[in-house]
Structure 1
Amino acid sequence: MAQGRIRKALSGYYYVYQDGELIQCRGRGVFRNRGESPLVGDIVDYTKEGESDGYVMKIHPRKNELVRPPIANIDQAILVFSVKEPDFNTVLLDRFLVVLESFSVQPIICLTKMDLLTEDEKQQLQEKIADYEAIGYTVLTTFQDDNTLMERLYPLLEEKISVLAGQSGVGKSTLLNTLLPELQLKTGEISQSLGRGKHTTRHVELIEVGNGLLADTPGFSSFDFDTIEKEELTACFPEFLRLSENCKFRGCLHTKEPKCAVKEALARGEVRPYRYEHYEQFLQEIMERKPRY
């Protein structure tokens, strides 16, 4: 059997890329019997019938999978956030970062509409950017008609499978059009065409950008914590994870426990107060979540 990656799924067919060609494959009935479904991004074994047809025989283990868009084995997400209209929101950004960390998806933060800020606002934002860079995140800033963004972004896409994420109205469609001009998606109309907030029949496809692959959809616009347990939240805050090794108690939730390294770092000013406040808010939300049966 040959092996390849599913680049596109449409109308019951899976288009598997291997050695420069796309093989149109059907899934075996055994997947339906198991309640499994091949996803774009899956590494699969397939058998070939004829020149360009075949059957998907096996789905290799996934490192992650998303529901919207339905895609697997994502390496990174470009988190697109505007700094104005709508205003930059660290609570929402941290929410996205936490969920991406929980899926082992590397975030790249891209801040748009920098040209709408005053000098004082730019200075205040620069402090936040420095905070996130100190944690270890890559942060890009851009503005309308910025002709340097692509040369800064393209190297980050090399050898990676990437998706876009962010609120509506922040410039995701503009960025996607710039990266994949063949899509010709109309700015401002993407939410309607994709059925924002609803399941949609529009297919997802991975398209080559240099030596990387990019999903041809603006992706998700909101996240929740349904799959994250309270004990796992620390690992979704990289600076907390590094510090937690020095907490007195294993499994420390960094709230009321004595000799907590995170709270000690917070008191020393080594953890940003707003990041800790967001952690507390998210922890409370997880703890108040209704049990799943």
Structure 2
Amino acid sequence: MQPAGGKTADKVFRGVAYACGILILVVLAAVFLFLFFRAWPLIGGDQKANSDTISSFTGGATNNFWGYVLPLLFGTVLVSILALLIAFFISIGIALFISHYAPKNIATALSYVVDLLAAIPSVIYGLWGGLILVPAIYPFWNWVSTYLGWIPLFAGPAANPQRTVGTVAVVLAVMILPIITSMSRDIFLQTPTLQQEAAYGLGATKWEMIKLAVIPFGKSGIVSASMLALGRALGETMAVLMILSPGLTYSIKLLQASQNQTIAANIAAQYPEANDLGVSALIGTGLILFLITFVVNFAARKITEKASV
């Protein structure tokens, strides 16, 4: 029989857990309402003034909000997806090396390095990208443009300096790599020993054991880690602002400058000189980014539930 004190502690803990869960929903709703009401002048205000404001942001290219935000949304998704594609397989490889191949002392050292990379502020990555990577990566991108330029993604000529979507995607990949690696490593280490030994008992090699036991066990965690990293890439501001030469097109030419821009970097760039209507327009783009991030996390939740079945 459970002591009375234990029942009281269970009730208190349950109440605190419920309160924390409700608090998260309240904060999420508060953020949405803040964005919505601050963006309301863009929705229900003087549309002529709004058109003039958006026209000033785009240099006269468009005076329509959707004509303004959709290219930014395209650039945000393009950069983030490219970063995830670059980082995903490298991260999984590092996580498997740490969890199943590296000697213990090397695995411990690599784990510390990965965790340290995850803690570096984005502005440091931006400085590294702008001052070191941009000039250093030009010869490689120029080679890619020369020999693979027949692929639309790599159509040239390669810009010099390389303040392009391709370079930003590499920097963001480095930023999100430790997130995927750290979470995947922890999940791989939790693979039940009996499952691994059963695979060995059936005559599997180490790689076959990983393919049959480790990766299926960690599938849902890998998806969660990837979506968390994608969310980080979608909202990244300073690194993109410090590296990318902005544009407002739907271009997929990764090696040419002034093609794309992201929502978060655009807000940071335009905010200091924006008037009240300009701030409302920028917050409206932030509301779109908020909704996209919510959709990404919702989709990740559904994918994770299917992967764990």
TM norm structure 1 = 0.24
More strand by percentage: 1
TM norm structure 2 = 0.23
Q: Higher Cα Rg: structure 1 or 2?
A: 2
